[in-house]
Chain A
């Protein structure tokens, strides 16, 4: 298999990328890690006239913490940079997801931001970003704007970027109080997309949840934003009752379909189980720490 013909640019600045995208009016595609785009080109699900490779732009590989604890992830930060990162101590949701995205070889190339842009309903990082209340910084001909992660994924493989915008950075705000969370994914084998996965991020003050975030992958036509469902935890501590209530609410928010990975009801059951498991693990380790 090989892609249909395209012209190729390897610009060395974001401004150049934007100019090329702008001139080509929707006929050009950004190439980041290529771990979704190249397979799509080969299958000819995508056949852009131009491919704009951003890998030659210096200074986008970073992920770093601001003094206030905000995490910033540049457009060329690879999955494996996060897997081996020492900066994710206050972001357990990201740390736990980082080794579950694809397989180790894909993780050397694929990027965090590219994965958000790809907007795969089964993508792991979009779920973590929605749970964490993250943002994406888009840059276009008129400068930069911030897009909430929950508004960034519009539908299956559709993001909120204009044709002449590049996603340059993802931002994850620090927790107010203590950051707790987790990510669980059911996959048929290493490197498979999620049959169902659950991302949870909590801000906790004492033992009271002050913010609760949750999103799901694999159980809908897009990443499922379950932030409203899990907000039943806000103002409460993690008890058997509150955990049960949250797990039922989140499972009800899933929109799973029956396919070769399992039946809809099975996937919904997995979601409920994973929410219970993540929250119970948090409650148990907090109890031990206390």
Chain B
């Protein structure tokens, strides 16, 4: 598969330089030929049809497009797809299993952490990165970790509660395990 602007096609047009990259997306290796200028957000959304990664501002300012690259949150509109070559990328589609929501998703459901839901995938991935480093964050630490993700609906209160809910649930699960 070749992913160019603005189409996904079998082969590149004449004279267009492409690079073969292999990116592990949500646990599966995906090999795609991309133009170097292709953004990671567009690789995910267009070539791989993973539209859970939202494109909000497209100017690096809102965090809606946040995904994890090797475990750290990045704005996928501000990373080239070629830069993900050989790395692990996790998107919101990677959170739930076939039968179960991720505790962070459950938290957003329980605490009403979303209204329109546009910011939610980015929020959840920033939250996941936080909880991996800090399983028991204070409210302030949650606010700090999410401060690069904008929400135009909720006023953030319930988002923070959702993440604290998930943190608690994940700690309990770890204790049982």
Interface residues of A (CB under 8 A from B): 1-8, 10, 31, 34-35, 38-39, 41-43, 51, 53, 55, 102-106, 108-109, 190-191
Bound together, the chains give a CA A267 to CA B75 distance in angstroms of 31
Residues of A within 8 A of B105 (CB): none
Residues of B within 8 A of A10 (CB): 82, 85
**Segment at the A interface, from B91-99, B107-115, B144-152, B160-168:** B144-152
Compute the total of residue contacts between A and B using a CB distance below 8 Å: 87
Closest B residue to A190 by beta carbon equals B147
* Known contacts A2-B38, A103-B63; A108 and B72 CB within 8 A of each other: yes
Indicate the member of B5, B58, B78, B126 with the most A CB atoms within 10 Å. Answer: B78
Checking A2, A42, A55, A104 against B145 with a beta-carbon cut-off of 8 angstroms, the contacting residue is: A104
Q: Is the CB of A103 within 8 A of B74?
A: no
Q: Is the CB of A106 within 8 A of B37?
A: no
Q: Is the CB of A106 within 8 A of B75?
A: yes
B47: interface (CB < 8 Å):
no
Q: Is the CB of B42 within 8 A of A53?
A: no
B83: interface (CB < 8 Å):
yes
Checking A6, A34, A39 against B36 with a beta-carbon cut-off of 8 angstroms, the contacting residue is: A6
Residues of A within 8 A of B83 (CB): 34, 53, 55
B16: interface (CB < 8 Å):
yes
Checking B39, B144, B148 against A106 with a beta-carbon cut-off of 8 angstroms, the contacting residue is: B148
Residues of A within 8 A of B35 (CB): 5
Q: Is the CB of A104 within 8 A of B36?
A: no
B80: interface (CB < 8 Å):
yes
B139: interface (CB < 8 Å):
no
Question: Taking the nearest CB of chain B, how far is it from the CB of A214, in angstroms?
Answer: 28
Q: Which of B24-80 contact A (CB under 8 A)?
A: 35-39, 42, 58-61, 63, 66, 72-75, 77-80
Question: Taking the nearest CB of chain B, how far is it from the CB of A261, in angstroms?
Answer: 15
Question: Taking the nearest CB of chain A, how far is it from the CB of B46, in angstroms?
Answer: 11
Residues of B within 8 A of A103 (CB): 63, 147-148
Closest B residue to A102 by beta carbon equals B148
Residues of B within 8 A of A1 (CB): 58-59
Q: Is the CB of A191 within 8 A of B148?
A: yes
Indicate the member of A6, A34, A104, A191 with the most B CB atoms within 10 Å. Answer: A104
Checking A6, A55, A104, A108 against B37 with a beta-carbon cut-off of 8 angstroms, the contacting residue is: A6
- 16 extra interface residue pairs, beta carbon distance < 8 Å, beyond A105-B148, A108-B73: A2-B37, A2-B39, A5-B16, A7-B36, A8-B36, A10-B85, A31-B80, A34-B80, A42-B39, A42-B59, A103-B63, A104-B144, A105-B75, A105-B126, A108-B74, A109-B78
Closest A residue to B147 by beta carbon equals A190
